Each structure stands twice: as C-alpha cells, then as structure tokens.
Structure 1
Amino acid sequence: MASGGFVDFFRKQKLSGELLKKLETTYLTVNAVLEDAEELQVTKPAVRRWLDELKDAVYDAEHVLDEIATQALQSELDAEFQTTASKVQKSIFAFRNSFVEEIKPMIQKIVGRLESLARQKKTIGLTEGGGGKSSEIFATSSLVEESDICGRNDEKDAIINLLLSNEARGNEMSVIAIVGMGGIGKTTLAQLLYNDKRVKEYFDLDAWVYVSKEVDVTKVTKKIMDELSLSTDDTDDIMSLNQLQLTLKKKLTGKKFLIVLDDVWNENYVNWEDLSKPLKSGAQGSKVIVTTRDHEVALVMRASSTHPLKKLREEDCRSLFTKHAFYDGNPNAHPQLEELGRQIVEKCDGLPLAIKAIGDLLRYELDVDEWNKILKSDLWDLPIDKTKILPALKLSYKYLPSHLKRCFAYCSIFPKNYIFKKNKLVLLWMAEGFLHESKNMTMEEVGDNYFSALVSRSLFQQSSGNKSLFTMHDLVNDLATFVSGKFNLRMEGDYSGENANKVRHLSYVREEFDGFKKFEALYKTKLCTFLPIDLSHSYFSYLTKKVPHELLPMLKCLRVLSLSLYRNMTELPDLIGKLTHLRYLDLSSTRVQKLPDSIYKLCNLQTLILSQCGMLIALPSDMWKLVSLRHLDITGTRITEMPIQLGRLKCLQTLTKFIVGKGSGSCIEELGKLTNLRGSLSILKLQNVESSIDALDASLRNKKYLEELVLEWERDDNFSESQKIVLDSLRPHTNLKSLAIKYYCGRSLSDWIGLPSFSKLAYLRLQNCYYCSSLPSLGQLPSLQNLSIVGFNEVVRVGSEFCGSGGSSSVNSFGALKVLKFEVKRRIARPSSFFNQTSDY
C-alpha cells in the first residue's frame, strides 16, 4: 500500500485515498488484539471463529491489493512495450476505467468486513497487548525425581565432565548451553545436573533461576540474589541495578558458583553483558548453565559449549511411557494395551513431554477403547488442563515475530516426516508474499534469514547431515497445522470440499494416477498454492487433463503452481496467461514440448523451473517481457538457442544455462546485462563468440555471486587459435568455487585458470581439450580439492611447472587436493614425483 507505483496508480485512476486510509486504520485496530486472539483461540471457540474470519478478510484484502499492484505494473509495461497508435491506447484506457469500477466496491466490501470484526473485539473479550503472561504457568524449580528419568545419561556425563573442569579464560565463568525444541527435556537434564552429588560438592554456591521472556536485568539479578539468600528485606525491591550488582559481586568474589538460567529467550547481547558483569567476579571454574530453544541465545551468551538435545531413543521412550502409563510399571499384564502403547509412543516421536503427559492421562485407564481414542485423536484435542503439550509447544510459536509466524504456519502444507529443501521453501515464501526486499538484502537473502531463525529456534531440524535438507518434528508439524487452521489443506485422498471457502494453500501426495474426482471440490476455493508432494519416490505420475485445462484457469488467485513429475503433461493451456498473480511455476520432469506464447502475460512470475523437461526445445520469443523473473532453471532441457533480449530481465538471479547465438538478440552480450546472476551458470556454444570484445561484454569478471561456471564449446575436429583469445576474456570473478572447461580447441589454456587469487576454487574439471599440449600451473590454487583432467591427448609430459610457484615443486602445491583424476587415450610419461603415481592414467 505504501509503494510508489501503487499510490501513483491509485491517484491516476482517481480512486479515493480515503478508502485506503480506512483500510489501513481498520487493519491496525484488529492487529492490536491479534496476540490476545491467538492466545485465547485454544480455549474459546468464538475467538477461534473470529480469528478465522479475520484471516479470511485479510487474504481477500491482499488479493485485491495485489490486483491493483498488478494492474499498476501492467500499465507501466504497456507504456514501455507499446509501439501502436492511439486506437490501442484508447482500448487500454477503457480497460483501466472498467477495472477501477470493478475494484472499488471490492475494497469497500473488505473495509466493511474488517470494521465489523473490529467492532466485535470487545464482545468476545479481546484486549490490546493481551496474552502475554500465560508462560508463567511453566515456571520451573530445581527439584527432580531422578528415578522418573529415562535416557540422557550420555549427555549428562558429558556436561558433568565440563562442570567439574577448571578450564576457563582467566577467571571468567564459562557458559554451557542446552538447546532444543519445547518438551525435549532441556530443563529435566539441567535439574539432573544441578542435583548431582558431585556437582553439589564441587561448587561453593549454586542458584536456579527461571528466566523465560524476562528482559529486565534488574529483575533477573534480583532473582539470582534471592536464590543465593542475599536478599534480606523489602529494601531490595527499591535498590538500583548498580546497588544490586555491587552486592552480588561482593558475594561471588572468590567463590566457585553454578547458576542455572532456565528457559532463556532473550537474544539481546547488551542485556546479557549487563547481567554477566557481577558474575565475572567468581573463582575460576564457575559455570552458568543456560537452557533455551534458540541457538542464537547460546551465541549471544558466548557459550563455550553447546549441547543440542535430540529426540529420546526408542527404548528410552518405551521405558518412560511404561513408568507413567502403567501404575504397577508392568505392561505385560495388559497385552492389548501394550501394543496400543507402542503406537502411542511412536506418535510422540521421541518427545519426553508428550510421552509423560499421555502416559499420565492413561495411568488409571484400562479400557482399550479409551487408549484407542487417544491414539487416533489429534494431540491438540487432549485436555489442556491435564496435559501441557499444546501450551508448551505453542510458546515456540507465540514468541515468534509476526513475519516468522506466517512463514512457519505455511509449512503445515508439508506432510509429516517430509524432507524439504531450504532454497525451495524460500522461493515458495517469496511467491506467497511473505518476504520483502530491503535496501541491503534481496528477498532471497531475507528468506534465508527467516529460515535460519526458525532453525535456530528448533522448529526446523537438519536432515541426514545434508545442509540443504530439513524436516520438522511431528509435533511441530502438528503445531503448524493448528495455527494455520482451515487455510492450509494437506489433502490425502479425495477432498470433500469441507471449508472450501477458506482454503488458500493446498498440497497433496502425488499418486501414480491422479484422477479428476480428487480435485473436483477445488472449484469452490480461492487457492493461492497448488503443490503436489512426492512421497512414493516414483519417478513419474499421470494427471487428468481436466486439471490444467479446466480447473487451474479458474483459480485466479494462484501464486504457486507445480505440475512437476507428471509424465503425461505435454502442454500448458494458453489460458495460463490469465493467472496474473502467479509467482512460482514448476514444470520440472514433465514432457512439456513448448510453453504457450501467453506466458509473457505473467508479469509477476518470479520462479520458472523447467529442469529435466527433456522434450522442451525452445522458450517463447517474448520471454523478455517477464520483468519480475528472478529464477529460470532450464537444466536438462533440449533448448538450442536463447530467446532474444534476455538481458532485459534485470531481476534475473538464476540462469542455469545460456546458449550463445549468432544473432544480435541472443549473443553473449546479453549475459553482460544480467548483473545479478548467482549460483550456477553453463555457457554453451562458445564457438559463436567471434572476438575478445564480445567475450568481455559477458562481464563474467564482475559477477561476484557466481559460484559454479561451465564454459563449453561444441566438439570440433579443427584447431582454433581464436578460442584462446575468447577464453582469456572470459575470466570470471575470483569468488568462483567450481569451474569446468569443455571441448576447448586452443593450443593452451589461459593463465588465469591457475592464479592463486582464485582462493575459493575447490572443483576444477578440464575435459576434452584435445589440442592443448600443456597444462596450466594449478598447484597454487589454495582451496583446490577435486581436479579432473580428461581427454588432453596432446599432453605428453607433466612437469614441475604444473605445481606453479615459478615451476619449482613446493610442499604447499596442491595443499588441499583430495581427488585427482587423469584420463587420456594414450600413454604419457611419468609426472613430477610429487604425485607419487605410476605412468599410466
């Protein structure tokens, strides 16, 4: 609403500014009670209904505002692209007038809905800034029943070894952080450590302080003093922070202390610095244990050791459940319940809080039907007064900033145990409008920060050691489902149409054959997301043609559309051009042969994924009109030439492949205009570059965000002297991490390839450069780990010059090398002795 283009369009079309002001004011009014509504919706159905209506109205408002923003953008593009006379201009003007008449009552209707909701807030008991104190019901103490604990012995022993050690920087106390999601057992482990006999004997003083969301340093300092029995009378309540800390410092001086700060949320470095000042007076060996859900807290507190808690092992889960669910501790006496108990434990997915809570709920219940009811129920349906599962986990959501709440709730479209990719999720968030560009960061960088914040808060977990793959704990997934409500639909089987008027984001598990019955009820929805999920790992599926040709063109609000992996998907209907809100389109691994010409009308499209579309041979000629396009993946396609004027796509960051043409509109100069390229880029048909000037126009040296680069010529049986000049001019930025050069026909490679200034280059592949008779000096590339040299049939000797450093073999040459591959079709002489290899490669 505040963007220049939006306001200008509003003014030019004589739309009432009062309407916008009214919309803004009403929105702020309901936003003020939003926190209270989210807290009370758990126990008050009326508040839940009010909140659903509010979300629905805001979705509608967003869509209308996006309609206006899209029309404003389209007006700018019409002015830029039009080459026609006044007749066309009159047609455009008439369309705009009709658009204004159509949009005005829509805004009025939305304002009316929001005003009505704002009037209801007092009736249903909502207050501004409410809902902030419920976490106090979780205040902890140091007491623990050790016989009630299962597992965590390894973690306990590791941390006790640290507690009993004297390692420290000078006389400073050291901080040990225990990090993990809500209910994972951080406080229980801290209690075990705090009450251990060896620990009690080792420290002169100890204190247990429940912190939670407290940010007042004075109050936390006072709590520490209370625990250390330093507070003597009511005058402490009026003492300044300085007086409190002087008293605390005097008490701690020369004493070895242990302080547990339980459930810390505060990420403010200044607060921790102020709090820790008197703590630095303790004797060497003093320790602070902090428990937190947020890795950022551990960083802010400069933890010398961080211990991320993982889920309980399966056998520990079963033991814990048995202790709580069977009053005699013997499940063998109840064989039917034992099997149900095993399934209930699986449902709790290694979370001790859930296991204990449900076990306690069933402790004196021997009715099989009741156990079945618990097994089949949603964990959020369990009595809130008897279990703390929902409130404990919901704190993780409650204390998220509003921009992260929306991103987290969106993730309920993923099935349980689904492994998702960080980069893909960020692109989905961007398409849904959750991310906004700033002066210093792109939307993608903002999304990366949001993602890292959710990982830091233990809501996302890294999967299987792969840094790009993540998952959510089952109960965190349940939490996302709860807070997203009726607006996210994870469809399993056919959809009945329940709450169809509310559903905005849809995912479904792709099956081998997806017939129309599965999607029939979606006509009633205002979908923003249409996302098939692959769980079966079958490479291809089949989708009824009614979906792309009849259903999708009716979903005018779509922002995210994926038809990936459908084997029978050979074309998109021309009507796709009417989905003007579309930001994300994934057609990867389909048999699409061409894209409809109407695709140029998708002026908001940000991401277009065409990878592994093996039948696709060309892109539409008007691709240059997709002015919002940021990511274009054409890996694995049969495209042989680029559309003209691709350099006009100024927002483009990802371009996986560029085929150099001979025409002026598709020459390598177009690459030079794409100043924001990053990630991976393959430049093919480099034989079409005629001069060094043309090669310099690609501006590879200025593309500092490119990490992987492939330079490839077409295979040729003729030696080419000009290719050396071209390669010299294609020198990339020194930030490059991976480089491949293929089918180059010069006699020698460029000197820049071995320069030590390419300090990040880890992977280098030189392939089928048949006429090269020598190799560049590669030994001084400091980060080179993987070197592959294939098809250099003219090379007969590899000497010490290969090491670099003036041709002398050096101990520092190839210092990081882990993988070396030589592969040629002839026998060559032994290389320098530093390889310590035989003469056959």
Structure 2
Amino acid sequence: MWDEALKENGQCWKRFCAPFRNVQEGSMMLVTTRCPKVIEGVRTMDPVNLEGLKDDVFWNFFKLCAFGSEESNNDAELERIGRGILRKLKGSPLAAKTLGRMLSMDLQASHWNFILESQLWELRQEETDILPALRLSYMYLPFYLKQCFAFCAVYPKDYKFQKERLAEIWVAEGFVEPQGGVPIKVIGHRYFEDLVARSFFQKVGGGYVIHDLLHDMAQKVSEHDCFILRNKSDFDKVPQNVRHLYVLPSHDFDDSNLLTLCKYTKLRTLICKKNLGQKTCFAMAHWCTNLLRMRVISCAFTNKLPDNIGNWKHLRYLEISRACPSKRIPSSFCWLYNLQIIS
C-alpha cells in the first residue's frame, strides 16, 4: 500500500475495508508497505519489519543473475568485486536482479570495479536504500533504451503494458532508430525485449508491469518530462516544460481544467482517460490550436474529431475509444501527413 490510500482523511481505506466487515471469525488482512504513514494508519498490531535475504542465499541469487549460474567456477576477481557490490544491495532481490543482469553484459573487472566505487551508492533515500542500485542499472543502459524506459514514467503504477502497443508509441515518439532494411516496428519490439531481459519489465498474465521501485526511479529521471494528473490540485504541479502527460479518470476536475493544458506548448504526448462526454471534442479543438508539437494523442470517450485536427502536422499516433466510433471525419484530417497509426 502507498500513502495515497489514506487520502480523504482515511475514507479511501475505509471504503476498501467495507466489504470485509462481515467475514469468518479469525480472518486476517495482511498489508505490506514501505510507508510509515500507512503503518500508523491501518495497523491493528505491531508491524513486522522484513529484512533482506540472508547472505548465503543472496550471494547464490546474485551469482545466478550476474553469471547465469550458482556454480563457484566463475572468475575469482569478479567474484571478489561482486561480494563488495553485494553488501550495498541490502539483501534486496530486485536490486540484485537488475544490477546483476547489467553486470552480466560486461564481464570486465574494470567495469565491475567502476560500479563498486560509484558515488551513487552515497545517495540517501527516505523509503528505500536500494535506489542507487536501480539508478546504476539505468545509467548503464544504451541511450536508446534509456529514453524508452524513462518515457514509461508517464503511465501510472501497476499499468499493464502490451509490447505491441508500447513499441508503436516509441516509434511515434522518435525513440526507435532505423537499422538498414529492418522494419522499424520490429526494432521497437527488440527494444522492449531487451528491457525485459534486463528486468525492467516483468511479465504478468497477458502483459508486462514495471516494479514499483523501478517506476519510482523512472519518475525520478524524467521528473521534468513526464507527469500524471490524478486530481485537481495536480494541475498546479505540472512542470513548465513537460513533454508527456497522462490524465487519470478523476471526478475531481472537468473540461475547464483540461483547457489549461494549452499553455504547455512543448507537449508531445497526451493520454486522456477522462470522460468529458460531448465536451471532449471541444477540449481537443483547443489542444489542436495550441499544442502544435503533438506526436501521440490518446483520447477516450470521443465520438467526434475537431475540425482543426489538421493542425497537428507532427501527429504520428492517434488513439480514440473503439466504444465511441467517429461518425464523421473532418476534411482537415488529410493534412496529417505524418500519421502512422490510428486505432
């Protein structure tokens, strides 16, 4: 649980618990959190503080991630350096997995020593001590993967990604570099699979998710580029030079708030999950007038496109709700000569 669950003076938590009031005697609810506020707000007994994995188990797991095997016939110098790095990971499997996968791609002692002696280990964190390890894993990504992963910070926590859809958006954003005659969409898929191999995505059911701590790290490295609008108060917190925005379907704001987004003229991505009914097209018309650098637009619950949509000359990806098929396509639609995907 995050401390957001205690907003509205705890009413969110009370609503969540309401269905569980009439349960069999002896039933229990187990809550895990890294937020002290949550502990004080929901606990009915003393909390149990979880520690990291024990040294021997942790070392075997780290070797599996870094060397691909738990055997002890690895390079002795790398094992010595690896044990030094291990002490900095606080017993966290996530830190061992992400950093171990990164180390496995360069088995040079000089590279491992550089990681061991990095100043990032000195960063102080309030909620976790493993963020430096995650930051190091990010720092050593190739640039093209850095920008693809950092972009994912615009999506909310626990968002389930689809490889096909995300790769298409990366292409539309210009993050995917052409490679000879290989279809650019295939290259986008390779980027995604590379991030999965490095443990930046985890496969869950029919999609992929980003671990909460990795999502925190992504938001940290893209704090001026990506922003999520959850409620009305967030409109005053949007970075002036924001590039990518995600609007959650809150009842706390209306179309007048969304019109204020017109001042963020460097916007390239707008994913709007807010249902404005008939006012959706009205808001989009204002965006088309002011937000002329748009590359990706996803607008739910609209059954009409604005007449001035042709202003979005740079638009490459357009997604509108399939539940609300457009009955009319404005004539200026043919001006979208950069449009690659409409869904």
Length-normalised TM-score, structure 2:
0.65
SS of 1:502's equivalent? coil
Which residue of 1 is the match for residue 279 of structure 2?
Answer: 544
**1:447 offset after TM fit, Å?**
0.8
Identify which of 482, 492, 508 aligns with 2:247. 508
CA contact (8 A) 2:227 2:246 kept: yes
Correspondences of 1:313-392 after superposition (within 5 Å) = 383-384=124-125, 388-392=129-133
CA contact (8 A) 2:244 2:268 kept: yes
Q: Which letter maps to 1:574?
A: D
1:558 aligns with 2:291: no
Which residue of 2 is the match for residue 275 of structure 1?
Answer: none
Identify which of 523, 526, 532 aligns with 2:262. 523
1:573 aligns with 2:311: no
Q: Which letter maps to 2:261?
A: L
Counterpart-to-counterpart distance in 1, 2:173 and 2:64: 35
**1:487 offset after TM fit, Å?**
1.4
Q: Which letter maps to 1:423?
A: E
SS of 1:486's equivalent? coil
CA contact (8 A) 1:491 1:507 kept: yes
Which residue of 1 is the match for residue 65 of structure 2?
Answer: 179
Which residue of 1 is the match for residue 230 of structure 2?
Answer: 492
Cα deviation digits, residues 612-653 of structure 1 (max 9, x gap): xxxxxxxxxxxxxxxxxxxxxxxxxxxxxxxxxxxxxxxxxx
1:600 aligns with 2:334: yes
Counterpart-to-counterpart distance in 2, 1:300 and 1:497: 44
Cα deviation digits, residues 90-141 of structure 1 (max 9, x gap): xxxxxxxxxxxxxxxxxxxxxxxxxxxxxxxxxxxxxxxxxxxxxxxxxxxx
Which residue of 2 is the match for residue 402 of structure 1?
Answer: 143
Counterpart-to-counterpart distance in 1, 2:158 and 2:213: 11
Which residue of 2 is the match for residue 472 of structure 1?
Answer: 210
Identify which of 460, 482, 486 aligns with 2:220. 482
Cα deviation digits, residues 418-458 of structure 1 (max 9, x gap): 11111111111111110122214211111111111111111
Q: Which letter maps to 1:530?
A: L
Structure having the higher strand fraction is 1
Counterpart-to-counterpart distance in 2, 1:177 and 1:430: 36
SS of 1:417's equivalent? coil
Correspondences of 1:413-492 after superposition (within 5 Å) = 413-464=154-205, 466=206, 469-492=207-230
CA contact (8 A) 1:514 1:542 kept: no
Counterpart-to-counterpart distance in 2, 1:441 and 1:504: 29
**1:295 offset after TM fit, Å?**
5.4
Correspondences of 1:176-255 after superposition (within 5 Å) = 178-179=64-65, 223=77
SS of 1:179's equivalent? helix
Extract unaligned runs of 5+ from structure 2. Answer: 1-49, 87-95, 108-122
**1:389 offset after TM fit, Å?**
2.9
CA contact (8 A) 1:528 1:558 kept: yes
CA contact (8 A) 1:510 1:541 kept: no
**1:533 offset after TM fit, Å?**
4.6
SS of 1:489's equivalent? strand
Which residue of 2 is the match for residue 779 of structure 1?
Answer: none
**1:417 offset after TM fit, Å?**
1.1
Which residue of 2 is the match for residue 36 of structure 1?
Answer: none
Cα deviation digits, residues 581-611 of structure 1 (max 9, x gap): 00000113224112212111111101111xx
**1:552 offset after TM fit, Å?**
3.3
SS of 1:462's equivalent? strand
Which residue of 1 is the match for residue 117 of structure 2?
Answer: none
CA contact (8 A) 2:154 2:227 kept: yes
CA contact (8 A) 1:581 1:602 kept: yes
Which residue of 1 is the match for residue 38 of structure 2?
Answer: none
CA contact (8 A) 2:231 2:250 kept: no
- Quickly say closer, same or farther: Cα 1:445–1:596, change in 2 above 3 A: same
**1:150 offset after TM fit, Å?**
6.0
CA contact (8 A) 2:259 2:283 kept: no
Q: Which letter maps to 2:185?
A: E
**1:177 offset after TM fit, Å?**
5.2
SS of 2:315's equivalent? coil
Correspondences of 1:278-289 after superposition (within 5 Å) = none
Cα deviation digits, residues 431-490 of structure 1 (max 9, x gap): 1110122214211111111111111111111112x2xx1111111001010000211111
Cα deviation digits, residues 637-688 of structure 1 (max 9, x gap): xxxxxxxxxxxxxxxxxxxxxxxxxxxxxxxxxxxxxxxxxxxxxxxxxxxx
- Quickly say closer, same or farther: Cα 1:515–1:152, change in 2 above 3 A: same
SS of 1:420's equivalent? coil
Counterpart-to-counterpart distance in 1, 2:194 and 2:174: 18
Report the number of matched residues: 263
**1:508 offset after TM fit, Å?**
1.4
- Quickly say closer, same or farther: Cα 1:595–1:390, change in 2 above 3 A: same
CA contact (8 A) 1:497 1:521 kept: no
Which residue of 2 is the match for residue 585 of structure 1?
Answer: 318
**1:511 offset after TM fit, Å?**
4.0
SS of 2:158's equivalent? coil
CA contact (8 A) 1:455 1:461 kept: yes
Counterpart-to-counterpart distance in 2, 1:423 and 1:598: 29
Counterpart-to-counterpart distance in 1, 2:252 and 2:319: 19
Q: Which letter maps to 2:341?
A: T
SS of 1:490's equivalent? strand
Q: Which has the higher contact order (CA 8 A, sep 6+)?
A: 2
